[in-house]
Structure 1
Amino acid sequence: MAGIHFQFEDFKQLLRLNIGIADRLDENRAESFTILYCDLSSQKDDKIEAALEKILRASDTIANKEKDYFFVFPYTDKYGAEIVKKLFDNFFGSFLNSFLISYPANGESADELTAVLQNSVKHFCKKDLDYLDLLK
């Protein structure tokens, strides 16, 4: 299927769009969408493309900065996103350095979500995502 790929510079706008849709359509404010960060630096580009094509749904969105990939899964809680993450692990044959956060549980705005993601990835994955600070 493959998700829809966005320019990395539009990542915060993509989050704002998903927040707006969730606020309009999700009255119970459950985990309206989940963001999966994956470090794919050990993977070859053609294999990454094949994985995206095979695993992602048409409603999923992707933004990447080099081989740091950010996936947004609408109407998917952390449990569902963890299943997708395991599909990636199996496809690549290795455990990927990754982290999951959800809206609104982990943040109420694009800025809050990216700050939580940045701090969590730095702490748990030992990877610096300071470039997220530069997004508008």
Structure 2
Amino acid sequence: MAGIHFSFDNFEQLLKLNIGISDRLDENRAESFTILYCDFSDIDDEIIRTSLENTLRTSDSIVNDGDDYFFVLPYTDKYGAEIVKKMFDDFFDKFLPAFLTSYPADGETPKLLLENIQDSVSVLLKKDIHSLDRFTRDY
């Protein structure tokens, strides 16, 4: 399988790892990595698995909670992530609801990046991603 699948519980740690690697290796602080959120509702799990195998690189990371999929794409700016998203659209032969956010342009901590996704998806896609609450809300 291309892309490495991580437990949703490890999402924050995965982002911290990618931030650490980016800070160490990317001196110009360009868009070091992009998180691509996709809503895979109404798509069969086997078809999703096949699409991931055909679309992602072995350096990409996957985290999902149900039909909400998050892809951490290292050394990929938003333009490159749009290409990945279009590949998913083409594979499923339909437009998928999606959102992109990049480090460090859209946030410099896991919390800020995930808040950006959560707030933007709520406004732009009219969908609440409550599973991110554990990473974004101060309780």
Normalising to structure 2: TM-score of the pair?
Answer: 0.95
The gaps in structure 1 that reach 5 residues or longer are none
Give the Cα–Cα distance (whole angstroms) in 1 for the partners of residues 135 and 100 of structure 2. Answer: 20
How far is the alpha carbon of 1:135 from its aligned partner? 3.5
How far is the alpha carbon of 1:103 from its aligned partner? 0.2
Give the Cα–Cα distance (whole angstroms) in 2 for the partners of residues 109 and 130 of structure 1. Answer: 19
Alignment map for 1:1-136 (pairs within 5 Å): 2-135=2-135
**Count of paired positions:** 136
How far is the alpha carbon of 1:33 from its aligned partner? 0.1
Identical columns (%) = 62
Give the Cα–Cα distance (whole angstroms) in 1 for the partners of residues 54 and 76 of structure 2. Answer: 18
Give the Cα–Cα distance (whole angstroms) in 1 for the partners of residues 100 and 30 of structure 2. Answer: 15
Look up the SS of the partner of 1:71 in the other structure: strand
Give the Cα–Cα distance (whole angstroms) in 2 for the partners of residues 123 and 105 of structure 1. Answer: 20
Q: Counterpart amino acid of 1:14?
A: L
Superposition misfits of 4+ residues, deviation over 2 angstroms: none
How far is the alpha carbon of 1:130 from its aligned partner? 2.2
**Deviation string for 1:74-121 (max 9, x for gaps)?**
000000000000000000000000000000000010000000110011
The gaps in structure 2 that reach 5 residues or longer are none
Please tell me the root mean square deviation across aligned C-alpha atoms, in Å. Answer: 1.0
Give the Cα–Cα distance (whole angstroms) in 1 for the partners of residues 11 and 50 of structure 2. Answer: 22
Q: Counterpart amino acid of 1:15?
A: L
Give the Cα–Cα distance (whole angstroms) in 2 for the partners of residues 106 and 135 of structure 1. Answer: 16
Q: Counterpart amino acid of 1:98?
A: A
